[in-house]
Amino acid sequence: MDIEYGFQVVLSTIPNQDNIDFEQDIEEHFFKSYKDKVNSTDEYLYKPLKFYMLGSYDVCYISLIDNFKFSHRLFEPKRKGYEEGFVYNDHAFQSYSGFALNDKTHLEEIFTNKPNKYFTGIINLKLNNGLLIGNGLKYIEAVVALLRKLIDIPFLVFQTFSWFEISLVVFLDYPEELSKIISELRIAEFRDLDNEKYDLSNSLYSEIFTNAENLKINRTSIFSDTHTYFGFNENLIKSERNSEYFSDFEGLVKKGKISLKTEVEWHVKPGHIHELGKTLERHKDLKALLDDGTKQFVLGKSDYLLKEKETDILSNIYLIRYIINYDGYCDLFKDVRKIKSYVYLDSSFDKCNIKPKNTEPLFWFDKLNKLCVSSPDFLRFDKRLKSLKISRQIRNKILKIFSNYNNGIQNPILFPYFLDFTVFIENLKNLINHEFDKSKKKLIEVRTLEKKLNENIKVFQEAYNVRFLNGYHFENISDFDLDFNNSIQQLLTSYGTFVYEYGKYFYNSYKSKMDAEYSPIIQLNDIDTISNDLSINYSVHHLTSPEFVFATILKELLNHLDIYNDDINKAVLDQYNKNLESIKDSINQSYLDDMFESELIEINYFIIDSIRFALTFNFDFDLFFHWFWTYNFQNSALFNTSGMINEYRLKSELFRIMLVKNYFGVKKKMKCPSPEIYSYWKIHYDKIDKISRAFLERIDADGGFFGFINDTLVKYFSEHYMSNEIINNPEEWQIALKELEKLKLRVTNLDKFDAQINGKFIFNILEEKDYSNNLYFLDDLMWKLLKKHYCSNKEDITTMKRDWDKGEVLPQYNANYDEILYSIDATGGVYFFNTQKSKDYFKVNAECLLKIIDFSLKQKKQFISNRVC
């Protein structure tokens, strides 16, 4: 897919209050202010299409964007000049974003000229997981091709990061057109797809069902769920009653050429029903909304007295116009808490070519059930937790984890997102079994075990909430999670698969202390990415900037080698900890002692950074140096409130990278990466250089560190790159053998160990081949993106300059950014001073994100098959 732009859809209620125009504030101080801030002169960007909606939300904004950071902003106006004590009344919103799939010219034309059709329909489409998983983007492309074939009116099609893969926006003059499209989509079957664009044999269905059931698969639905919103063109609500646009529409309705059945639901305050009636009676256009014969209580929904009546489309438009155009606090809400309209479209199935099915539908609940915690297991773990004397509170939470997981994994629509927890659940069961067996041999402190279980509970609850609350169960509830303002399920699960598949090359469950498989859950944390063995945390902005994930992925993966691989303890860490005091005494440097006392030295990072240097950055120290500091400079946790980097944090990070430099014998002196830290750099560089050399000489006197690091690298390349799949001719094989011999030698001087030849061997071979489901694909994807952004920034690091008193960007430095792709923002992420650079960055990262999503969808097939077949 060639992606030029992204999109954002926001559905929002409008707070009702005096002297405040929430819509105007949003349009001026959310959309326009951002557009002005980034100096976007393109008419079609950040200038949304606007519609007034029926249903749970009042208004919808659809924007074309070229920066996903925009879509993660809080949907709240930030205008200057608020009066003291001012606050917007309560309002709710739902937001989702992703890739705009229409061609560039079509998108620019629609968002520049604005559709003039009376109505819009927003149809969110969840694809059939049995067909999607295994084929990935090929299935999405085949579905989009079918949409273009079926729809003959103007439309937009988006690929989203939400629980549904596709969002379709259609523009129409007659509700029957929407009904026809929905009917066509709901009867669409696999056999309607272009076979040249989609291969059934790669799908999950073909993996878990026999060939004899292919006929059933051919008749399965393309979509597993559709969810539609209906709205009015802004001009129908805002234009004058006597305008040509509204008059023409009103005439068509009265002539019966446009019709729509709706029902208005009134949440009336207790004791206010008669007052509401009087208010509506005063307005002739609103009288039709009342029906004295249908005063009812709707039990199980609310305690409010409801008054409902089926109405025509004009009544709804008159009502919306009355509320939206009311000057000040609308008088209807003196008597009503909420007004909601329901839309009833007559189906158009009679106009569709529906062929009767002669086969039974596919049922795969018995397959998904194999991923569940069984009822006998529930009882078994309940008894074992009791036997371990675990408190009732924690025991019930563990059982609730099993129950919630079962509910998610059995949902045929949402289960791909709950696959993220499958290994987590397996490891939790193993932990309980392990501790239960251990308790039979020796005493275990209950408090210690409860602490472990509490860590599992905390990770599960936070991660589960993110995935569950943004599903279709809560479609009409506001986005209240603090970590994000935009649906991100697709990104979370895709990165989860990425981490799981990549981690398999470093962790083996048989070497784990408790027979655990490494599969951390991806979570959001805007402060830091510090991970534990249960989860990896990323800033929400990093999910759409994959270079920051790639630069640190091995750091996060290898943080827990001591838990999952006991070899590192036996070969390295045990001896290091035993000799540490004598090492410090022999160096006899107060500077080093001070760093240890301040907890600025973490020896695990040396091992991890050495492996990262080799595998992620391919022994290219300049590239490693660039991303090491680029990541640090956008991590606000390293800075003081003055805007200066914290001196202690700088010492810690400088010591980390100096160890790698000196360990691998890099001769070139490191240049200060930013003028802002030059004074600290000058003070500490030589001291840290000296003590790092002394430190390395002593910690690796017996070769333990080198042995573990070198064995890890040799094993990685020999097991995964010395294969017929990647090397398929004698000449390449001889080159590979020579490079591996160099790896096997203990060489700490890059003059002898030619890292550039080694790197050229690995990645040049990959460039000529196409891998989509394995380690080569991941290594190649990461390397190319990191290298591309490095080159696009002229192999240099540029930090954005702010006025730290006001927090605003200083424009006098803009000339410094003309030649680079982006500057580093100390508050997180990157910043663009040129709209074309923003578009270039978006396009490169969009291509990468699509590959990650595609990779995840393909890998999930084997993950499921291994457990259910």
State residue 96's pLDDT score: 92
Residues 6+ apart with CB under 8 A from 809: 800, 801, 802, 803, 831
Give yes or no for residue 537 having a pLDDT over 80: yes
d(CA 306, CA 268): 6
Least confident of 150-159, 334-343, 715-724: 715-724
What is the domain partition of the chain in residue ranges? 261-344, 365-516, 571-602+624-777, 789-868
Confidence of residue 759 (pLDDT cuts 50, 70, 90): very low
Query: CA-to-CA distance for 616 and 773, rounded, in angstroms?
Result: 18
**Mean predicted confidence (pLDDT) in 574-594:** 84
Q: What is the pLDDT of residues 441-481, one digit of tens each?
A: 888 899 999 999 999 999 999 889 888 877 776 666 655 56
Q: pLDDT at residue 400 above 90?
A: yes
Tokens 């996060």 map to which residue? Answer: 556
Residues 6+ apart with CB under 8 A from 346: 176, 179, 261
pLDDT band at 420 (very low <50, low <70, confident <90, very high): very high
Res. 855: pLDDT tops 70 = yes
Tell me how far CA of residue 231 lies from CA of 59, 175, 217, 259, 316, in angstroms: 8, 10, 35, 14, 11
Q: What is the mean pLDDT of residues 296-321?
A: 64
pLDDT value of position 750: 35
pLDDT band of 133, cuts 50, 70, 90: very high
Residue 588 has pLDDT above 60, yes or no: yes
The CA distance from 260 to 283, in Å, is 22
pLDDT score recorded for residue 419: 94
Three-class HEC string of 498-559: HHHHHHCCCCCHHHCCCCCCCCCEEEECCCCCCCCCCEEEECHHHHHCHHHHHHHHHHHHHC
Q: Which residues pair with 342 in a beta bridge?
A: 263
The residue among 193 and 166 whose pLDDT is bigger is 166
Assess contact for 260 and 313: CB atoms under 8 A: yes
Q: Give residue-wise pLDDT tens across range 170-182.
A: 999 999 999 999 9
Which range (122-136, 267-281, 283-297, 411-425) has the least confidence? 283-297
Among 93-97, 501-505, 738-742, 814-818, name the most confident range.
93-97
Q: Can you say whether the dihedral through the CA atoms of 844, 845, 846, 852 is positive or negative?
A: positive
Residue 751: what pLDDT? 36
pLDDT at 739: 61
**pLDDT, mean of residues 147-156:** 95
- Which among 260, 268, 204 is positioned nearest to 236, based on CA atoms? 260
764-774 average pLDDT score: 52
pLDDT tens digits, residue range 401-418? 999 999 999 998 999 999
36-50, 270-284, 790-804: least confidently modelled range: 270-284
- C-alpha–C-alpha distance, residues 567 and 512, integer Å: 10
Tokens representing 243? 């305008």
Reported confidence tier of residue 753, pLDDT bands at 50, 70, 90:
very low
- Categorize the per-residue pLDDT at 851 as very low, low, confident or very high, splitting at 50, 70 and 90: very high
Whole-number pLDDT of residue 729:
61
Give the pLDDT score at 478. 54
In the DSSP assignment, the letter for residue 63 is E
Percentage of the chain lying above the pLDDT 90 cut: 41
Q: At 842, which helix (H) or strand (E)?
A: helix 835-868
- Is the model's pLDDT at 822 over the cut of 70? yes
The model's pTM is 0.90
Q: Looking at per-residue confidence, does 740 or 651 come out higher?
A: 651
Assign domain 261-344 to a CATH class: alpha beta
Residue 310: pLDDT band with limits 50, 70, 90: low
Could you tell me the pLDDT band of residue 566, with boundaries at 50, 70 and 90? low
What does the pLDDT read at residue 212?
A: 57
Sign of torsion over alpha carbons 742, 746, 752, 753: positive
pLDDT-derived band at 345 (thresholds 50, 70, 90) equals confident
Give the integer Cα–Cα distance in Å for 517 and 421. 12
pLDDT, the chain, mean: 83
Per-residue pLDDT averaged across 384-397, rounded?
Answer: 95
Q: Are 263 and 309 in contact (CB under 8 A)?
A: yes
* pLDDT band for position 564 (cuts 50, 70, 90): low
